[in-house]
A and B are shown apart, each in its own frame.
Chain A
Amino acid sequence: MHRFENATVGAAGVLIGALVIYLASALPPSRTADVGPGALPLIIGIGLVAISIVLMLQKQVTSRAEPDGETIGDQTKRALAALATVAVYCVAVEFVGFFVPTLLFAAAIIVWMDGRVALPRAIVTSLVLCGSTYLLFKVLLDLPLP
């Protein structure tokens, strides 16, 4: 996997750069002395494609030392699981409101990382977190919460 790190990043860069070039070319040119809204994005897109190709051609000199013998695939899977958890929390906040999802989410994260032994600490932390957030945002600063 290590050998393809630069190639992967470079390929992604070429795709993004090509998209920027395509979208920038579609913007109408200016009729005044101004270069128009598409000029600089076009230059950036071309630059991104060029530098991505250089990156793809570059030799992979260093290799990544993985913690616990994990591959990039393992790490990505773990991060995706974490990201999905946070996304579920955000969806819950959007539809249910801030407090109940936060109480459950904060406690769940602590128990997930430390095991069931940490349940009392998880409950106290989530209660204190919700309480202090309410005091600071709603009472003290009069700001809306999600």
Chain B
Amino acid sequence: MIEGILQGLEVALSLSGFLSLVCGVVVGIIVGVLPGLGPVLGMALLLPFTYDLGAANAVIMLLSVYVGAEYGGAITSILLAVPGNAAAAATVLDGNPLAKQGRAGFALEVSLVASCIGGLFSGFVALLFLDSLKEIVLTFGPPTIFALALLALTSIGSLGGGSPVKGLFAALLGLAIATVGADKISGMPRFTFGISELYEGFELVPVVIGLFAIAEILEMLHPGQAARAPTQSMFARMSWADWKLLSPAMLRGSVVGTIAGILPGMGANIGAWLAYDLEKRVSKTPERFGKGAPEGVAAPEAANNSAVGGALVPLLALGLPSTGTTAILIGALIMHGVQPGPRMVLERPEVAYGLLATVIISIVVMYILGRGLIPLWVRIAMVPASTMAAIVLVLCVLGAYSTRNLMFDVWVALAFGALGYLMRLYKIPVPPLILGLVLYSIVESNFRRSLLMSNGNLSIFSESVVTVIVLAATALVIVIPIVRRFWPGRSTVSKEI
């Protein structure tokens, strides 16, 4: 293994490898910053340029795009409340309030450091424990993933913003919206009303752009009363106290993100939300969340970048793509004559370990580039509110359009903007809706696959110890708050049920 790691480092640090890596990180940050253009599109754009590169350099470049884009998405989330990609949506909740308080530089620094720590963590975990993690991946069948998705759904209670009823209402609304589109098992169109653009369901990026950014602008647009942009502090470095406060959040986010990256179908989007939820749950002052808590930036940012290293585990160990980004990487490998799978580590160690070394080195490059650009990003936050509104609205339209190059997605963003505005007006929390939207297909497809595997027998959910433990944990998460509510002298429940 040591020999393989050294070979990987040699490839990633060679002149051509390093140039591919830097180019990939730069493109990644650009596509990450631009709303609607996530890592999948960035990698797809660069794919034709990798034809003439060797297999190792090609995958180094593409993987660096992935790393850069996961960080870049946070920049517009913090500055403009427009998530650069779906995985950066959770960062809006506390990142944008920090920018509004004049602490955009600090929020950007936290997101950069957290992204680096998350990426390094998952890179080292994948590098050192690839063989052991392979066994874990194999134990996660549809019943276990269904159980994990159910556990993730219990986050709704914490994301509900003080009113569990409204949180549950929003989550059910999100789940109902997610039912639109062709059924994943039978292929039958469901609630599409003959609209072909709805066959794949609602794309997440236009929905998130609408719910967060357009809703914010609708509230902000006020003739003759443009709010002044907050004065931003250019000081961005994290103090010792910040490190002390945020290190556990970054570590927890890294662990959650790595696991989410490893599990099929989960990935950075869900990892970021779960990390945010976990951070809010363990915090002694959860009421600060949503109002500019730095942990609310650190945890999801560490998680979405740590999902990169996690996603490489099923790719390298089993040749399976767990996300769209790893599917493109597999495509690039096959294009260059490398067969992904368990034998890749033995037959092409320079490519396999080169990928893992790339995660680690591209993080260092990303930190240097990202650190240098923070003062520039902070200046954007000082733009007058009216100019900001105009720029954000145009970016929203472009971001929604770029998802599939369809004006339909722009109208979807606008409709969800109106919904997001109404939800703000009636104090219905938005995060549970997004969580419902993201988790529905995982819950449904894995539940139904499990039943198909067992010929309709529900006992399949008790066959694996891991599944039973996860289901028991889910039950505990639901039951404990109810017991506490009726436990004399220990009620901490809000007045609104």
Chain A positions within 8 Å of B, measured between CB atoms, are: 5, 8-9, 13, 16-17, 20, 23-24, 27-28, 30, 32-38, 40-41, 44-45, 47-48, 51-52, 54-55, 58-59, 61-62, 64, 72, 75-76, 78-79, 82-83, 85-87, 89-90, 93-94, 102, 105-107, 109-110, 112-115, 118, 121-122, 125-126, 129, 133, 136-137, 140-146
Contact = CB atoms under 8 A, between A and B. Distances in A.
- Identify the 4 closest CB pairs spanning chains A and B, nearest first: A33-B456, A113-B386, A37-B183, A113-B226
B186 interface: yes
A9 B426 CA distance: 7
Contacts of B217: 82
B188 interface: yes
A145 B225 CA distance: 32
B386 A82 contact: no
A5 B418 contact: no
A113 B176 contact: no
Interface stretch (B120-128, B161-169, B195-203): B161-169
Contacts of A125: 387, 390-391
A90 B406 CA distance: 12
A44 B426 contact: no
B394 A105 contact: yes
Interface string B369-404: 000000000000000111101110110011001100
B224 A37 contact: no
A65 B217 CA distance: 20
Contacts, number: 187
B169 A113 contact: no
Contact of B224 (A28, A75, A115): A115
Contacts of B225: 113
Nearest to A143: B402
Contacts of A20: 176, 179, 191
B497 A54 contact: yes
15 contacts: A34-B186, A34-B452, A37-B188, A40-B179, A83-B218, A86-B417, A89-B393, A105-B393, A109-B386, A112-B221, A115-B224, A133-B398, A137-B402, A143-B45, A145-B398
Interface in B171-225: 172-173, 175-176, 179, 183, 185-186, 188, 190-191, 214, 217-219, 221-225
A32 B453 CA distance: 11
Contacts of B414: 83, 86-87, 90
A114 B397 contact: no
Contacts of A86: 214, 393, 414, 417
A88 to B, nearest CB: 11
A94 B19 CA distance: 40
Contacts of B186: 30, 34, 36-37
Interface string B209-250: 000001001110111111000000000000000000000000
B390 A109 contact: yes
Interface in B241-262: none
Given A33-B454, A83-B414, A90-B410, 18 more contacts: A5-B427, A28-B188, A30-B186, A33-B451, A48-B173, A51-B165, A51-B169, A55-B169, A61-B495, A79-B221, A82-B218, A83-B421, A89-B397, A93-B410, A106-B393, A109-B386, A110-B389, A142-B45
Given A41-B190, A110-B387, A58 B497 contact: yes
A49 to B, nearest CB: 9
A125 to B, nearest CB: 5
B496 interface: yes
B367 interface: no
A79 B496 contact: no
B interface bracket (residues with beta carbon within 8 Å of A): 35 or more
Contact of A58 (B34, B165, B405, B454): B165
B394 A133 contact: yes
B172 to A, nearest CB: 4
Given A113-B385, A113-B386, A114-B384, A106 B454 contact: no
B483 interface: no
A23 B192 CA distance: 11
B496 A9 contact: no
A23 B165 contact: no
A17 B397 CA distance: 30
A89 to B, nearest CB: 7
A72 B495 contact: no
B427 A64 contact: yes
A27 B183 CA distance: 11
Nearest to B448: A34
B446 to A, nearest CB: 11
B285 interface: no
Given A34-B185, A37-B188, A113 B410 contact: no
A33 to B, nearest CB: 4
Given A23-B191, A51-B165, A137 B398 contact: yes
A113 B223 contact: yes
B455 interface: yes
Contact of A79 (B183, B384, B421): B421
Nearest to A140: B30
B176 A44 contact: yes
B427 A136 contact: no
Interface in B432-463: 440, 443-444, 447-448, 451-452, 454-456
Nearest to A142: B45
Contacts of A144: 405
A107 to B, nearest CB: 8
B425 to A, nearest CB: 6
A105 B402 CA distance: 19
A52 B428 CA distance: 12
